[in-house]
Structure 1
Amino acid sequence: MIKKIVLLLVILALASCSSSKPAIATTKKAAAVQRPRVAATKKTTPAKPIGKNYPSTNNTTEVIQSTSKTVVTSDLINNYILQYQEIAVGNMKTYGIPASIILAQGILESGAGRGDLAVEANNHFGIKCHKDWLGESVRHDDDSAQECFRKYPQASESYRDHALFLVGKKRYESLFKYEKDDYKAWAKGLRACGYATDPNYPDKLISYIERYNLHQYDCQVTGKTYVAINKTAPTRTSTSVVYSDPKINMNSNDPNLYEVQKGDTLYSISKKFNLLVDDLKRKNNLTDNAISIGQRLKVK
């Protein structure tokens, strides 16, 4: 009888153990179901292209094809012009080359400063080494593979060498018979003298000059009255309006622009308009802190 009772208790104990096992298994399955949900959350966190800075709808894009293929926007081209306009005007005064031609060639040959040669060698005019070049050089594919191009310590040296190149080469003598501000004759003459092999080279230069009102810089030197061809492009002849703070000069045609004054820095301008320096640089596609007097910056 005692044996039967003991046996019965053992059977009841085993039965109770077996009935609890499914609950444990169910708990493990539930835990396993939760793991993928945690992983899915982690995968979604790197998705940060939401804050990517896309160009505005009025900021047109184009491809510049010269010594390299470069995609640029109209804003980048305008910033390039503002950055080098004073050098171009100075070279026109010193060497007699139209500032409009200098800037148009700079835009085309350097991809508005973004082309391979401009980035790697500060070469903004696609000038090759030639036999008389004693400076540094880089190799780059152009008309032939791995041709020798001049390398400069800074972009301003490229602008100076471009002027000396045209003045010093006998084959460009005929250019200086044209009027200083006759940019169409200069554009066609450069192609005729062999500066470029592209048959559309003159048309490309003239297009940049007229789309971005580059002829205004010729008029600054000659003293002639400039009449804008492209009414939408900014010109230096436009007047300024002074707001309540006399230190903040805004362009009357666009209240979102600020014209750089003597003594301004990116930091001081950012403080005037409650911006971060990085935001100011991003708005204007600036890669460094260099700005020049008369340059117009987006501040809104």
Structure 2
Amino acid sequence: MERGRSVIVKICLLVLALRWFWFGDAFAQSALQQERAAYRDTYKNFAIAKMHEHGIPASITLAQGMLESGNGKSRLAVEGNNHFGIKCHSDWKGKRMYHDDDQRGECFRVYKNAGQSFEDHSAFLRGSRRYAFLFDLRPTDYKEWAYGLKQAGYATDPRYAERLIAIIEEEELWKLDSGIKVEVPSPRALELPQRMEGKALLEAKLGGEHKVFVRNRVEYIVVEPHDTYASLSRAMEMMQWELQRYNELPTRDLPPAGTILYIQPKRRKAAFGEQTHVVEAGETLYSISQRYAMKSASLRKKNHIAAGEEVVPGQVLYLRKEAPKQE
């Protein structure tokens, strides 16, 4: 009799334990959904704005923010407004904090507010060559974007893409991508020099050996091995000092063959769609200004770079608007 009662008690305890675990799991799932919903409602406008401005799916931005920041509750997000785990680079002059990640005591950026973190995340993706191929994808194809981010090495987690996709589908974040007009061209498309229409006369004057291109609405040619300032000046009916001024050349020597030579004044900001540039090894402020047909003084001013100071690899340069000031 006693043995039978003991068995019944054990069964009852087992049932209670199973119910406790079931309710506990359901409660945890409910809490997670509430946290994600709160995060979505708080930051969705940031994500939508960045999709329109940079072409990154709002669903991807929000899912990354949720995953990287623990729905805004991680130490980096709470203490540093860092929602995407962006680490310090050698150019970072703002506030910083240290946190264990892939290694112990790694340096992470601290922002004034979450909006700066969302902007820096978009600027990082848009301005880095290794992520450039993503912008050839449809902005509503969140799955390809997720796998592309993993392929480009955004995170070391082998299931990073699957985790992003799960968040997007569970929270129906893909709905945010619908109806947003993205007019920003791919960074790779902007890198290709385009033939300037209606320049046949100038090309004829140059002896038919030069093509005239346009970048950022500024005409340019590519220096040929036999070119001299004298021959180019005669053909284009320009003074030598004009070519030197337009290209900010410090010497009287013509640049080597293969170099871009602008034949009109450069502009104060880059072309529409060229928002940021991530400096790579070997690049200088001058070479970047030539790449985007921007005045180097304007590029320096927009990014608060002092005279005589040079850019460093990993530094994010703003090409159209002023960079946020770092405290």
Give the TM-score normalised by the residue count of structure 1: 0.51
User: Residue 86 in 1 paired to residue 45 in 2?
Assistant: yes
CA displacement at 1:196 relative to structure 2: 0.3
CA displacement at 1:133 relative to structure 2: 2.2
1:149–1:79: structure 2 CA closer, same or farther, 3 Å change rule? same
Poorly superposed stretches of 4+, deviation over 2 Å: 56-62, 131-134
Matched residue count: 160
Identity of aligned residues (%): 47
Q: Hey, what does 2:96 align to over in structure 1?
A: 137
Distance in 2, Cα, partners of 1:75 & 1:57: 15
Distance in 2, Cα, partners of 1:60 & 1:186: 32
Residue 123 of structure 1 contacts residue 158 of structure 1 at CA under 8 Å; is this kept in 2?
A: yes
1:58–1:75: structure 2 CA closer, same or farther, 3 Å change rule? farther
1:81–1:180: structure 2 CA closer, same or farther, 3 Å change rule? same
Give the TM-score normalised by the residue count of structure 2: 0.47
Instruction: Choose the corresponding residue for 1:61, options 24, 28, 38.
Output: 28
Read off the aligned partner of 1:131 and give its amino acid letter. Answer: S
Deviation readout 1:25-45 (Å, 9 max, x if unpaired): xxxxxxxxxxxxxxxxxxxxx
Whose RCO is larger (CA < 8 A, sep 6+)? Answer: 2
Q: Which runs of 5+ in 1 are unaligned?
A: 1-55, 63-70, 224-300
Distance in 2, Cα, partners of 1:188 & 1:217: 19
Residue 109 of structure 1 contacts residue 125 of structure 1 at CA under 8 Å; is this kept in 2?
A: yes
Distance in 1, Cα, partners of 2:118 & 2:146: 17
User: Residue 173 in 1 paired to residue 132 in 2?
Assistant: yes
1:165–1:60: structure 2 CA closer, same or farther, 3 Å change rule? farther
CA displacement at 1:210 relative to structure 2: 0.2
CA displacement at 1:220 relative to structure 2: 3.2
Secondary structure, aligned partner of 1:179? coil
1:59–1:120: structure 2 CA closer, same or farther, 3 Å change rule? farther
Q: Hey, what does 1:111 align to over in structure 2?
A: 70
CA displacement at 1:222 relative to structure 2: 4.7
Q: Hey, what does 1:212 align to over in structure 2?
A: 171
Deviation readout 1:246-282 (Å, 9 max, x if unpaired): xxxxxxxxxxxxxxxxxxxxxxxxxxxxxxxxxxxxx
1:160–1:72: structure 2 CA closer, same or farther, 3 Å change rule? farther
- Point out the structure with max Rg over C-alpha: 1
Q: What is the root-mean-square deviation of aligned Cα atoms in Å? A: 2.1
Read off the aligned partner of 1:216 and give its amino acid letter. Answer: K
Distance in 2, Cα, partners of 1:134 & 1:177: 33
Q: Hey, what does 2:149 align to over in structure 1?
A: 190
CA displacement at 1:61 relative to structure 2: 2.2
Q: Hey, what does 1:287 align to over in structure 2?
A: none
